[in-house]
Structures are given as C-alpha cells and as structure tokens.
Structure 1
Amino acid sequence: MTHHDDAKHVWDMMEKIGLCMLATADGQNIRARPMAAHVDHRERMVYFLTDAASHKDEEIARNPSVCLAFADPSGNDYVSVSGHAQVSNDRAKIRDLFSTPAKAWWDDAEDPSIRVLKVQPSEAQYWEGSGRVVSFAKMLVAAVSDSRPDLGDNAKVRL
C-alpha cells in the first residue's frame, strides 16, 4: 500500500470499529476509558461527546496528547492513534453528533453539561489479521514448525 492508501485504510478501520479506548495522561499515570467515536475522514478529526464534569476533560486541559485504541478482536484488527485533543462547547457540533446512544447519558442535545471532544490524529499504527480462528491455526502451525506465523498486515502511518 502507498502512504495515502494506508492513511485511508486507518480511517476506514476506525470508522468500522467505532468504539475505542481514549487514553489521557493523569500526572504520571495513563487512564483509559471506552468511548463511542464519531470518525470524520473529511475533516480529519475524531469526535466524542463527553460531560463537562468528567475527569478526562481536566486531564486534556493539562495535557492534550491522547491515544485512541480501537480493537476488533473477532477479526484481529487493531488501530492505535496518537493525536491532540481539545474540549469545546460547540453546540452545533453537539447537536450534529447527538444520537440515540447518547440518550443513555443525557436527555437531549440541549443538556448544558454536554461537551464535544475533538481529536486531531497525527499518526497511527494498525494491525490487521485474518480472523481469530485463522490466526490461531497459523500460530499452532508455527509452534510445531521452524516458521513464524504471518498474522496479517501492519503499518505505521502519518495522518
């Protein structure tokens, strides 16, 4: 793949997986929590809805460097994205992103505690496998032979 193809592939994988672990720095510790990602390839941004009272917003204000870890274990597909985050009160964007799953946390898009978390990715690394069963079989064959398993594609990509 070319760099452009790899970058598009990363965006496609993030969009397909949809959920990720958002990792932020909390002093010397790294904290991660699951988040529903709104991937916008055109804008080259990943958006999240968050609550103004959450600790992640405070952590991002102190250190905007974040990691997004997307995983689809059933397909052995993984994407790790490094980027910079910013929290805003962009009400139009909040209304645009608000969907049925968000109702688990807020009654409607006009809830004053909702914020939009915007992540601008800078680089990513992906691992794409051939599925859990096939990968297990390849590892089993490699374990009883002198070979190493080919578990799929891997690339580091500038976004």
Structure 2
Amino acid sequence: MRRIAFLAPLAAALAVSGAAAAQPSAVVVTVSPDFAKTAQELGERDVQQQVSDLTRTVERVLTQRHALDGARIELVITDLKPNRPTIQQMSDKPGLDMMRSLSIGGAAVEGTVTMASGAVEPVKFDYYTPTLADARGSTTWTDAQRAYDRLARNLAEGRYVQR
C-alpha cells in the first residue's frame, strides 16, 4: 500500500512534466470569409468539424515529430470539397445519394507560421484527388483528411509553400 502511495504522486508529476514537454505549437484554424458562403452550403457542423480535424492533425504531427516548437501556426481553410454529400447538401438536394454520389474531394489552406524567433513564413497548400477513380471507397471527408495529413507533414519538414 505504501508503494502505491509513493508512486501515485511520482506518476502524476511525470505525467505533467511529460505533457508539458510534448505540448504542440500554438495552432489556430479559421475559415476564410470568401469561403464562408460555400461553407454554409456544406453545413456549419461539417465545416466546424473540419476546422477541428485540421487543428488536431497539425498538432498531432508536430508533437510527434517535435517540430516547430514555440511557433504559432495560423491556418485559414480557403476551400473544402467533400467526396460524398454532407448532411446539409442532402437536405438541400434530396436527389443526392449518400452512397452513390461521389466527387473529387480535397482542401486548400493558407496561413502563416510565426517562428519562436519572430520570423514569419507564409503557408500555402492544397490537395484534391486527381481522378474520380481515386476517390472510390471514400467517406465524406477522406480527401480533406489526406490534405490535412500532407500539410501537417510538410509543416513538420519545413516546407510551407507547396510547389
């Protein structure tokens, strides 16, 4: 019993210190004003979920790779294309079929990375499925997720502008 009493505070201290060391850089994701009208057509809930997914993906990859420590990353989603209809789209257009309606999906993101030193780097990235055949078997946001993963890896590797 005494061992457990001794180990519990030690484990808590290690967890707190480990969490502090593994904290990701500050990541802020928003939606561009120009994209806001299209975002309403996709559905506010879906778009907010994509904002959260992009934030989590970038934080996770940067934490895993110990990249951009102390940097502030501000990203703006400028375009989103789902592979399958969103709930809002199906509500607005009843002829769409959740399973058979398929399209080329992806995302476009711009922003800045402000390094701990104060240097500012522009960010510009987009990814869309090259062909409809590549989108087969996709869920609603498969290609957007693929775009987020690729963007996060690029950021971790110091590639901020897609060429």
- TM-score, with structure 1 as normaliser: 0.27
- TM-score, with structure 2 as normaliser: 0.26
Q: Which has the higher helix share?
A: 2
Q: Which has the higher strand share?
A: 1
